[in-house]
């Protein structure tokens, strides 16, 4: 059974269809109108694993050329790959009324979303996430980006999709490590603003009742995006764990999945909040405990990519794109379900905290 969540952006609202068989269920949607042609940008691995399902579900739509395969991994989010994709789209003769279907995880969604935003000054993109992480977070809300040597997602634009189709059937082939990493983004929604959801997640001991939890996480994000589409304020809360997490991810040079880095980053955000006396110790312990029980490592010394350098991490955090006026901006918490944006981070104190955590 599929369910639909509306992302309410006034005149530009769109739906997220979630559930097993969502791709087939979405076909009558008006985005698939018959006069339109589609360029498929698909993760190379997903194309191999799910060719039959994708071909059957999309039978009858008018394709603009062969599917364009996106290589796996963050390295695909580059200027070179963006140029290749845009060139292929031009060669297909895609017009402004046509659309891109982005089928894959966060890397494919970010790159395809940016290509769609730039192509002939912007064409529609339909996001079809195939990983739990991209279903729970990156496919919804219109963030697109490529990476730079200086850090992740530093070049990009907001380009909202016209539809998101989160078909749980794609998860049947997702490796366990990726499932756990995606689950981190579901936990994130609870930690930011829904203490009851966190209690439910603890009771379900991990990724049970997946569709319900996923739907709650998407609905939570929908509210935040509707209130602050371009991250002028409260949307920054969705970066809980990300400032620490991006630093870890960059330092680990490809050995950590994004969700793994965010999980460790969320534990750090809660521990740092407790150290500053902003959050009860017991809440920070509960967060770390749940992440560990779910198989998400929170001890920095045990993470792939360890040992980390506190100085290098701090340097990366100084370049985070949320920072303002030269100060490091962190998302911290007053407790589970009560995250807030903290602008007065003292770099020397943060460095000492990181050193303590790394030992």
Q: Give the count of beta carbons closer than 10 Å to the beta carbon of residue 198.
A: 20
Residue 324 burial class via C-beta count within 10 angstroms: exposed 0-12, middle 13-18, buried 19 and up: exposed
143 counts as catalytic: yes
Query: Residues in the site for ligand GLY, rule: CB under 6 A?
Result: 137-138, 141, 143, 235, 238
Choice among 188, 221, 329, 342 that is catalytic: 221
Nearer to ligand GLY, 40 or 331 (CB): 331
Q: Is residue 231 annotated as a catalytic residue, yes or no? A: yes
Is 290 in the active site? no
- CA 234, 349, 304 angle in degrees (round to 5)? 75
- Cα–Cα distance, 201 to 187 (Å, whole number): 8
Q: Are the beta carbons of 264 and 303 closer than 8 angstroms?
A: yes
Residue 162's SS3 state is coil
Residue 246 among the catalytic residues: yes
Catalytic hit among 180, 213, 215, 258:
258
Instruction: State the DSSP H helix or E strand holding residue 266, giving kind and residue range, or none if neither.
Output: helix 258-275
At its nearest, how many Å lie between ligand GLY and the CB of residue 242? Answer: 7
CA-CA distance, 112 to 116, in Å (whole number)? 6
Paired tokens of 239: 């970066």
**Taking the complex as a whole, how short is the minimal distance between the CB of residue 131 and ligand GLY, in angstroms?**
14
Nearer to ligand GLY, 39 or 247 (CB): 247
Please confirm, yes or no, whether 258 is among the known catalytic residues: yes
Which one of 50, 88, 152, 231 is the catalytic residue? 231
Whose Cβ is closer to ligand GLY: residue 235's or residue 290's? Answer: 235
235 as an active site residue: the answer is yes
121 is known as an active-site residue: yes
Nearest CB to ligand GLY, comparing residues 109 and 206: 109
Residue 69, helix vs strand vs coil: strand
Least distance in Å: CB of 137 to ligand GLY? 5
Closest CA to 234 of 192, 264, 272: 192
Which is catalytic among the residues 45, 77, 152, 242?
A: 242
Q: How far apart are CA 201 and CA 294, in angstroms?
A: 10
DSSP 109-143: HHHHHHHHHHGGG--EEEEEE-SHHIIIIITSS-B
Nearest Cα to 161, choosing from 88, 94, 86, 108?
A: 108
Residue closer to ligand GLY by CB (options 238, 330) is 238
For ligand GLY, the closer of residues 104 and 353 by Cβ is 104
Minimum CB distance to ligand GLY smaller for 67 or for 331? 331
> Nearest approach, Cβ of 231 to ligand GLY (angstroms)?
6
Cα separation, 123 vs 117, in Å, equals 6
- Catalytic one of 77, 180, 235, 286: 235
Least distance (Å) between residue 316 CB and ligand GLY: 18
From the candidates 45, 77, 88, 143, give the one annotated as an active-site residue: 143
Residue with the closest Cβ to ligand GLY? 238
Active site residue 281: no
SS3 state at 71 = coil
The helix or strand, by DSSP H or E, that contains position 219, with its residue range, turns out to be helix 210-227
Q: How far is the CB of 305 from ligand GLY (least distance, A)?
A: 21
Q: How far is the CB of 223 from ligand GLY (least distance, A)?
A: 12
Exactly one of 152, 215, 239, 260 is catalytic; name it: 239
The residues carrying an active-site annotation are 121, 143, 185, 221, 231, 235, 239, 242, 246, 258
């Amino acid at each position: 059974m599929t369910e639909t969540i509306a992302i309410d952006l006034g005149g530009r609202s769109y739906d997220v269809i979630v559930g097993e068989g969502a791709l087939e269920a979405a076909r009558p949607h008006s985005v698939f109108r018959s006069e339109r042609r589609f360029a498929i940008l698909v993760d190379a691995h997903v194309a191999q694993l799910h060719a039959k399902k994708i071909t059957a579900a999309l039978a009858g739509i008018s394709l603009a050329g062969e599917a364009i395969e996106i290589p796996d991994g963050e390295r695909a989010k580059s200027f070179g790959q963006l140029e290749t994709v845009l060139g292929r789209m031009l060669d297909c003769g895609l017009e402004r009324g046509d659309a891109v279907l982005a089928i894959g995880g966060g890397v494919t969604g970010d790159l395809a979303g940016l290509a769609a935003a730039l192509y002939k000054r912007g064409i529609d993109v339909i996001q079809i996430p195939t990983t739990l992480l991209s279903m729970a977070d990156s496919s919804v809300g219109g963030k697109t980006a490529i990476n730079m040597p200086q850090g992740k997602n530093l070049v990009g634009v907001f380009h909202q999709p016209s539809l998101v189709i989160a078909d749980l059937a794609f998860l049947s082939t997702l490796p366990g490590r990726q499932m756990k990493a995606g689950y981190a983004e579901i936990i994130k929604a609870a930690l930011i603003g829904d203490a009851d959801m966190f209690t439910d997640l603890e009771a379900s001991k991990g990724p049970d009742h997946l569709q319900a939890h996923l739907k709650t996480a998407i609905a939570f994000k929908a509210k935040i995006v509707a209130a602050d589409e371009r991250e002028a304020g409260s949307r920054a809360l969705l970066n809980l764990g990300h400032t620490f997490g991006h630093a870890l991810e960059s330092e680990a040079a490809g050995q950590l999945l994004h969700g793994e880095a965010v999980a460790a980053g969320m534990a750090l955000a809660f521990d740092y909040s407790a150290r500053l006396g902003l959050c009860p110790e017991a809440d920070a312990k509960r967060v770390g405990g749940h992440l560990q029980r779910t198989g998400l490592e929170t001890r920095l010394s045990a993470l792939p990519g360890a040992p980390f350098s506190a100085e290098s991490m701090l340097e990366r955090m100084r370049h985070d794109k949320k920072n303002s006026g030269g100060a490091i901006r962190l998302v911290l918490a007053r407790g589970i379900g009560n995250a807030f944006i903290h602008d007065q981070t003292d770099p020397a104190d943060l460095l000492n905290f990181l050193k303590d955590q790394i030992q």
